[in-house]
């Protein structure tokens, strides 16, 4: 199991997310932690997934499409027409590339 520096991740995320999205993200991280404790799941994995779940949400739609193309992330016709949906797929790439997450359960 990898160790993650949540403070460092939070500082980096605060630069890329707007204030409301960042506050939402922290709430999701805390909720994931609570659920992990209740359901006897790995706390670090849950917190990391919660913290990074919207890491690509505030990327502009045109940039989402460009990044998907550059990094060979498949985009369906529907996603091409609704690129705001790409934040989940692109988020997995961003979590790996910018936050050094390798755990497939998180990605």
pLDDT average, residue stretch 1-17: 87
Per-residue pLDDT tens for 25-34?
Answer: 999 999 999 9
Per-residue pLDDT tens for 54-105?
Answer: 999 999 999 999 999 999 999 999 999 999 999 999 999 999 999 999 999 9
**β strands within the chain, DSSP E:** none
CA distance 91 to 79: 14
Task: Report pTM.
Answer: 0.89
pLDDT average, residue stretch 8-18: 94
CA distance 1 to 83: 33
Q: CB of 52 within 8 A of CB of 106?
A: yes
In this structure, the chain runs to a length of: 107
> Residue 1: pLDDT band by 50, 70, 90 thresholds?
low
Domain boundaries, the chain: 1-54, 58-101
């Amino acid at each position: 199991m990898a160790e993650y520096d949540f403070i460092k991740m939070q500082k980096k995320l605060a630069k890329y997310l707007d204030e409301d999205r960042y506050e939402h993200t922290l709430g999701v991280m805390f909720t994931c932690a609570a659920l992990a404790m209740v359901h006897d799941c790995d706390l670090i994995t849950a917190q990391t997934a919660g913290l990074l779940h919207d890491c690509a949400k505030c990327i502009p739609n045109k940039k989402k499409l460009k990044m998907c193309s550059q990094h060979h992330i498949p985009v369906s016709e529907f996603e091409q027409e609704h690129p705001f949906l790409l934040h989940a797929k692109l988020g997995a790439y961003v979590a790996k590339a910018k936050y050094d997450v390798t755990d497939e359960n998180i990605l």
